[in-house]
Amino acid sequence: MRMDTKAQLDRLGLFDAKVPRYTSYPTAVQFVGGVGPQLHSEWIKSIPEGSEISLYVHIPFCRRLCWFCACRTQGTQNDRPVIAYLEVLKAELALLSADLPQGTTLSRLHWGGGTPTLLNPTMMDELAGAIRDVVPFSDNTEFSVEIDPNEIDAPRLDALARAGMTRASIGVQDFDPMIQKSIGRIQSFESTRDAALELRARGVQSLNADILFGLPHQTQERITESVQKLLSLSPDRVALYGYAHVPWMAKRQQLIPSADLPTPQERLALFEAAQKLFVWDGYAEIGIDHFSAPGDGLQQAQRTGRLRRNFQGYTDDQADVLIGIGASSISRFPQGYAQNASATGLHTGFIQAGRYSSQRGHVFKGDDLMRGRIIEALMCDFAVRSADICQNFDISPSRLHALLVDVAAQFDGLLLVNDEGLAIPPVARPLTRMIARAFDTYAMDTAGHSSAI
């Protein structure tokens, strides 16, 4: 990137801003009380018969707690709490079964965490069977699982294959030993490679990988080496996430000295170094931080305007409903969001009492859905098409045009606005989350969000 362009981005506040990642709108920090078990149940019952829905299952346990991670997890060295939690998940699925309309099938199923692969094969079989009993797979169901190469073996891989897993997601973060030590995540390239090979041998159709930029001690040379190693595994899809350093929210991150982190300007250079390697290797850029190999579904979704963004990142899932199972999980319905109790004990108490554990959420109101779609379009397509917005929402072309012009005026002439809509040219794409923020009408505490780059 040219120096004058970086200077312009600096003037616009890119290197100082803290903004949401916009995996939802409103973002989860805006959720409030009032969305409880009864409303959650009503929203499930209102799903049209014969619908396809998506399901997310949260496993909040890890054998070790990585310092960089801000997910809701807890450490355990034995299976006792995991066995108990599995019974809670099955009870929660039974509640869902009683409410789901007839003919509901699965579009997408994702096991996340935490570390889903710390479940033993018998637990995996039980969980998969309980899910299928409630929501049968369709012919096109995609079933993805987050895989920890340090917490997987042949019997567990066989169990996942039996369960119908079609996509695996491996967290890499970085292969450099010094960086791994500094973030509390030791994971060799060899163990990662072996896990990828074993997954492919079992017919897994797609392999995802996550890699981070902005880690302590990370340099362009080190991220280049890590990306080249990752590319040797031929992942079908890569998420290049910026490390979010929020030690005031994730206490374990206090083990990572802030002084060892790259500056925002260095973060941008790290992203660009990795970005060039993926593009040079034939990967298509998907949204702000994903890369897709030829033939991957995200490329087709991007070409046809069907790319979407949810709590797992970019997706081609077209289901209107995502139901979260497990502690802290978030569900999305056409009416709004509902989040389960974050604490495992509190979640367990509600489920054992025969109620969903929903504690907070958001009921869509006003122009939430329109602004949410505008933000999603920016994050997915770097463009807002006025005809699409006016066709699907109650807004006139003149009022929408005025809104787009007002936002564009905040960005130093970098954005393109005409009768067709608004577009973010490549030079301005590092600003995408900030541009999305300009359409967000909710008050924001910057302490709850990560760097804009």
Question: 220: how many CB neighbours lie within 10 A of its CB?
Answer: 15
Per residue in 52-74, pLDDT tens? 999 999 999 998 888 778 777 78
Structure tokens at 393: 């929402």
| Contact between residue 347 and residue 356 where contact means Cβ atoms under 8 Å apart | no
- Beta pairing partners, 161: none
- 8-state DSSP, 448: G
Q: pTM for the whole thing?
A: 0.94
Q: What are the pLDDT digits (tens) for 179-212?
A: 999 999 999 999 999 999 999 999 998 999 999 9
**CA–CA separation, 173 and 211 (whole Å):** 4
Per-block mean pLDDT, blocks of 10 residues, the chain (453 long) = 80 92 94 96 98 97 84 84 97 98 97 95 98 95 96 97 96 95 94 97 94 97 98 97 85 88 95 98 97 94 94 93 98 98 96 97 98 98 98 97 98 95 97 97 74 87
- Rg of the chain over Cα atoms, rounded to whole angstroms, equals 22
Query: What is the DSSP secondary structure assignment for residue 427, as one 8-state letter?
Result: G
37 contacts: CB under 8 Å, gap ≥ 6: 350, 355, 356, 357, 358
Q: How far is it, in rounded angstroms, from Cα 387 to Cα 207?
A: 36
Pairing of strands 290-292, 308-310: unpaired
Q: What was the pLDDT predicted at 173?
A: 94
Euclidean distance between CA atoms 345 and 74, whole angstroms = 12
CA distances from 348 to 1, 113, 117, 209, 369 (A): 51, 17, 21, 32, 32
**Residue 248, CA distances (Å) to 245, 261, 443 in order:** 9, 16, 20
